Structure 1
Amino acid sequence: MKKRFIYIVFALAAFGVNAQSLEDYLREAELNSPKIQALELRYNIAKEKVNEVNTLPNTTIGAGYFVSEPETRTGAQRAKFSVSQMLPWFGTITTRENYASSMAETEYAEIVIAKRKLALSVAQSYYKLYGVQAKQKVLKENIELLKTYETLALTSVEVGKASAVDVLKLQIRQNELQQQKEVLEQTYLAEQAVFNNLLHRDESVGVEVVDEMDIPVDDPIFNKEDLSLNPELLKYDQLYESVTQSELLNQKANAPSFGIGLDYIPVSERDDMVFSDNGKDIVMPMVTFSVPIFNNKFRSTTKQNELRQKEIELQKEERLNVLENAYANAISQWNQARIAHQTQAKNLKQARDAEEILIKNYETGTIDFNDVLDIQELQLKFQTNQIQSVQLYYLQSAIINYLINK
């Protein structure tokens, strides 16, 4: 798997939104994440295992002293020294390295997945903060609007065109909106804590969120075929390859191993005889073979590896189904958000037209403050729904990009 430093700025650049602040947050979250740091350490450990397997078995050295020296024709043997080294079959060490490398790649796949999931969580929390902030802004505007209506109502009361009840209704409505605004402030603080925890920093640190977001006129083009490149699926390819390397290593283990060695025996000279080889030391080179005659173990391991590969294939198919379902659901909600946004825009325009009519009626001397409250409530509803549709659009865009981003 290609090793690269990944920053996923979900949909923002494509949709014309100022993405710089979110990109910075994504980078900070990735650098500070304890989970990613732990996975990177695990990956480094797996890479170090490549060096671990690039070794030969221990060299065997032996020494012995004859308490009762055996006599030979050339003299008495005093001691025995030996050294031997077992060697694996040709290519075994390379196969071990390949297996260790494949296991390291599966660990790297986990890092890539963790980075993408973290980026998705950060982006989604960012969009939720935007939604809460935008609703607070709308509530503040509506409270100011109601204050304006309250002033009109007080003026109307003075000239006998409205009652004190109308003023009280407008004040009650302001109180309700103020309550909603204060509740949203608490919601914002809670989501801010979630966001800061994702960045592994103090929960009270302020978060800069873009002031305005809108659904773009033209949607980006998504290719469902890119779903096959999702790291969650590529991980299974790495697992399958590791099992393949495990089987190659098993086959090498089933091959003979051989060793080379040397025995050295010092011999004392005989005093009672004189001949050419008197006291000549003994040097004996040796070659040994280790043959796995009883290889049921290796045949069983081969069978296990075959079953493991089938299991991995089925797991990949099952995960693909899950991702395809998530993709279909995200696309559906993504389209629903655009439809809802367009509808709310039309409704909001008509509500504002109705508001203008009411204001003109006031100028001619007649106004129904019950109608004013109804129109104001409709406007707030349409504005809130519009914000929710924008938020939903970007939340689903984040999921789509997580699923198919290369």
Structure 2
Amino acid sequence: MRYSIIIVIISFLSLQSSAQEGYPELQKYIEFAIENNPNLKAMDLKYQQALERVPQAKALPDPTFSAGIFIQPIETRVGAQKAKLSISQMFPWFGTLNAKEQQASLQAHAVYLKYLDAKSALEMKVTNAWLDLILTDRKIHFTQKRVEILGVLEKQSLSRYESNQTDMVNVLYIQMLKEELISKLELFKDKRETQLVAFNQLLNRDQKTGVITPSDDSFLISSAINMNDTNFSNHNRINSWNKLVESAQYAEKASKLNGLPKLGLGLDYAILSKRSDMDLADNGQDAIMPMISVSIPIFRKKYKAAIKVTQLRQVQFEEEKQAELNQLVLEKQKAFELYKSGLRDTELYQNLLIKAKQSYEILSSSYESSTKRYEEVLNMQQKIWIYEQKQIEAQIKVQKSLAQFKYLDANQSLEKSNSQKVK
């Protein structure tokens, strides 16, 4: 009977894993999030707004039309002026509108690059949230199996106690372990509900919608990591600042051109009445007068200040780009640290799990001959339960670091590999 109980325990503690070719559900979740995430939609709307500023920037100022009526007509040789119509159009200095158009276009491009970065970051967030659910599901699975095992052992211990084959303290110890695990199981379930809400919020759907997670190791991927590659020149976060720097350069050019004269063309049309006291050539003929005007930018302080602002903005963007670059390097270093830590812990707990199972078998055999206390057998079984959780935690750490590398490195290729699957 005791030997059969040991076999049941070992079968419950073993975790079957199989490598499968990818997990398509995650990609579906990512695509759904990209289509429905409100923050990403807001970023897209910002980009659409930025695009609409381009035609505004290159547009000419509105023409001016005016009309006037003479209360007392002004007499001229060919008749009295009764009314006057005027229309005029101002033109900025040559190249000003093109500079403003380039400035607005580059600003829109910068917003678009931020949108692409937000899209990549969202993919990483969805992946990490999905991995958190997998981890919690595995912990729930391990704990449920452990509670079931302790339930079987509790019945067996009670039966043995009634037949005076064991002490009551062993029964109480099993009950204590079981109650602790039931409490942890409820904590894991509560945590999963919170994680489920967080995951569904990323997808902008009902918070109670279920999420499919694998029960095997098909979600594990591996990739070659090149820590020496810290070239982020093509990263969207850096390119966005580059576009803003270029935009500020065109803004400086536009500010300089704004300080040059503006040209105006116009036309005056005077309405005349005929003279009745004499017959003249062109009597009462309306007058047309072309007009030209030039603005004189003599107050130079405002133009110099505008140029200075754009120059300072270029320096500001360069500094912010450098800060962004430093942040990317730090993020990659942290991802590499997480990756190495996950690999070490995976190997460590895999070895510890093997030794713990071997120790458990030895202790179980010793317990059969009553040379070891029952508490030591249960403690070793508890270690197996802990090591199984630590192992899956380490595997999740590796997967999260790979998701971070995928986001940080545009050239990073995260290919699923069965032969190099992280164990």
CA contact (8 A) 1:215 1:393 kept: no
Contact 1:213 1:390 in 2 (8 A): no
- Provide the rounded CA distance (Å) in 2 between the counterparts of 1:234 and 1:260: 42
| Structure 1 residues 157 and 367: alpha-carbon distance in aligned structure 2, compared to 1, 3 A threshold | farther
1:395 to 393, 396, 400: 400
Tell me what 1:20 maps to. 24
In 2: Cα distance, 1:370 partner to 1:363 partner: 13
Query: Which of 358, 363, 376 is the matching residue for 1:371?
Result: 376
Shift of 1:310: 0.8
Matching residue of 1:357: 362
Counterpart CA distance in 1 for 2:302 and 2:364 is 90
Contact persistence 1:142–1:376 (CA under 8 A): no
CA distance in 1, matches of 2:84, 2:382: 103
- Per-residue CA deviation, residues 264-317 of structure 1 (Å, 9 max, x unaligned), is 224444445445444443222122122322222222111111111111111111
Change (3 A) 1:270 1:195: closer
Residue 183 (1) aligns with residue 187 (2) = yes
The aligned residue for residue 322 of structure 2 is: 317
Q: Return closer, same or farther for 1:154/1:273 CA change in 2, 3 Å cut-off.
A: closer
Amino acid at match of 1:286: M
Distance in 1 (alpha carbons) for counterparts of 2:407 and 2:317: 22
- Cα separation, partners in 2 of 1:343 and 1:17, compared to 1, 3 Å: farther
What residue identity is the alignment partner of 1:323? L
Q: Which residue of 1 is the match for residue 243 of structure 2?
A: 238
What is residue 296 of structure 2 aligned with on the other side? 291
Q: Is the 8 A contact 2:63 2:89 kept in 1?
A: yes
Correspondence for 1:339? 344
Query: Contact 2:197–2:207 at 8 Å: present in 1 too?
Result: yes
1:211 aligns with 2:211: no
Deviates more, 1:284-293 or 1:353-362: 353-362
- Name the structure 2 match of 1:52: 56
**Length, aligned pairs only:** 392
**In the TM superposition, what is the alpha-carbon distance from 1:221 to its structure 2 partner?**
2.8
Map of 1:11 onto structure 2: none
Give the whole-Å Cα distance in 2 for the aligned partners of 1:162 and 1:366.
13
In 2 relative to 1, CA 216–205 (structure 1 residues): closer, same or farther, beyond 3 Å? closer
- 1:97 aligns to what? 101
What's the offset of the Cα at 1:369?
A: 1.4
1:128 and 1:105 mapped to 2: Cα distance? 35
Q: Any idea what the Cα deviations from partners look like across 1:8-65, whole Å, max 9, x if unmatched? A: xxxxxxx977331111111222222222222222221221122233433222223333
Q: Which residue of 1 aligns with 2:82?
A: 78
Residue pair 1:334, 1:396 contacting (<8 A) in 2 also = yes
Task: Quote the residue 1:6 is aligned against.
Answer: none
Alpha-carbon distance in 2 for matches of 1:217, 1:261: 71
1:135 maps to what in 2?
139
Equivalent in the alignment of 1:256: 261
The structure-2 alpha-carbon separation of the partners of 1:151 and 1:83, relative to structure 1 and needing over 3 Å to count, comes to closer
Contact 2:221 2:399 in 1 (8 A): no
Percent identity (aligned): 30
Q: Aligned pair in 2 of structure 1 residues 403, 123: CA closer, same or farther (>3 Å)?
A: same
Query: What's the C-alpha RMSD, in Å, of the aligned pairs?
Result: 2.7
Cα gap change, 1:293/1:360 in structure 2, threshold over 3 Å: closer, same or farther?
same
State the one-letter code of the partner of 1:343.
L
Residue number among 231, 247, 251 corresponding to 2:252 in the alignment: 247
The offset of 1:360, in angstroms, is 3.7
Relative to 1, partners in 2 of residues 1:88 and 1:154: Cα closer, same or farther, differing over 3 Å? same
Deviations 1:68-92 (A, max 9, x none): 3333333433332322222233333
2:214 maps to 1:202: no
Paired amino acid for 1:162: T
Match of 1:123 in 2: 127
The letter for the 2-side match of 1:140 is Q
Q: For residues 189 and 162 of structure 1, what CA distance do their matches in structure 2 show?
A: 41
2:177 & 2:284 partners in 1: Cα distance?
118
Question: Does 337-346 or 54-63 show the bigger shift?
Answer: 54-63
Equivalents in 2 of 1:351, 1:128: separation in Å?
26
Confirm or deny: 8 A CA contact 1:214 1:390 kept in the other structure.
no
Q: Is 2:299 aligned against 1:303?
A: no
In the TM superposition, 1:104-183 aligns within 5 A as: 104-150=108-154, 153=157, 161-183=165-187
Find the aligned partners of 1:339 and 1:68 in 2 and give their Cα distance: 99
CA 1:164/1:78 → structure 2, altered by over 3 Å: closer, same or farther? closer
Deviates more, 1:148-157 or 1:219-228: 148-157
- Which whole-Å CA distance do the structure 2 matches of 1:93 and 1:217 have between them? 52
Q: Which runs of 5+ in 2 are unaligned?
A: 1-18, 412-423
State the one-letter code of the partner of 2:147. I
Shift of 1:348: 0.7
Distance 2:79 2:207 in 1: 87
Change (3 A) 1:71 1:167: closer
User: Is the CA contact 2:367–2:377 (under 8 Å) kept in the aligned structure 1?
Assistant: no
Q: C-alpha distance in 1, partners of 2:278/2:33?
A: 88
CA distance in 1, matches of 2:41, 2:93: 38
Deviation at 1:204, TM superposition (A): 1.8
What is the rounded CA distance, in whole Å, between the counterparts of 1:272 and 1:143 in structure 2?
120
Q: What secondary structure sits across from 2:84 in the alignment?
A: strand
Mapped to 1, the partners of 2:162 and 2:75 lie a distance apart of 137
What is the TM-score when the length of structure 1 is the normalising length? 0.86
Amino acid at match of 2:292: V
Following superposition, the deviation at residue 338 of structure 1 comes to 0.7
Task: Provide the C-alpha distance between the structure 1 equivalents of 2:250 and 2:213, rounded to a whole number of angstroms.
Answer: 49
Change (3 A) 1:301 1:160: same
Q: Any idea what the Cα deviations from partners look like across 1:114-145, whole Å, max 9, x if unmatched?
A: 22332222222211111111111112232333
Moved more, 202-211 or 54-63: 54-63
8 A contact 2:220–2:399 mirrored in 1: no
Q: What is the rounded CA distance, in whole Å, between the counterparts of 1:67 and 1:361 in structure 2?
A: 122
**What stretches of structure 1 of length at least 5 have no aligned partner?**
1-14
